[in-house]
Structure 1
Amino acid sequence: MRAGFIQFDCKFGEAEENHRKVKIMLAQEQADLWVLPEFFHSGYLFQ
């Protein structure tokens, strides 16, 4: 099994832009399992 991890600069309140970035990254690599940042879609970051 091959796992992939994505870490990127999520933008708060920019769900469509965050999804677009993830789709581009997913298309560039092959994996059986992808791990994404928690709340990546909303861009919410804990302080």
Structure 2
Amino acid sequence: MNKQHWNWIRLAGDVPELVLIDCIQLAYQTVFMKLTKKKQREIAENRR
């Protein structure tokens, strides 16, 4: 498994929530953009 874009954050209560949300959103977008256009459309349609 390719771990090039993995995030690793130790949750000890000292990381602001907005930073965590930004990390998660960036990770999601990174993976999403590597999907085929067909799969991206399928996901987008299911989010509505």
TM range (shorter): 0.3 to 0.5
Structure showing the higher strand proportion among its residues: 1
**Higher relative contact order, chain-length normalized (CA < 8 Å, sep 6+):** 1
Larger radius of gyration: 2
State the TM-score, normalizing by the size of structure 1: 0.40
Structure showing the higher helix proportion among its residues: 2
State the TM-score, normalizing by the size of structure 2: 0.39
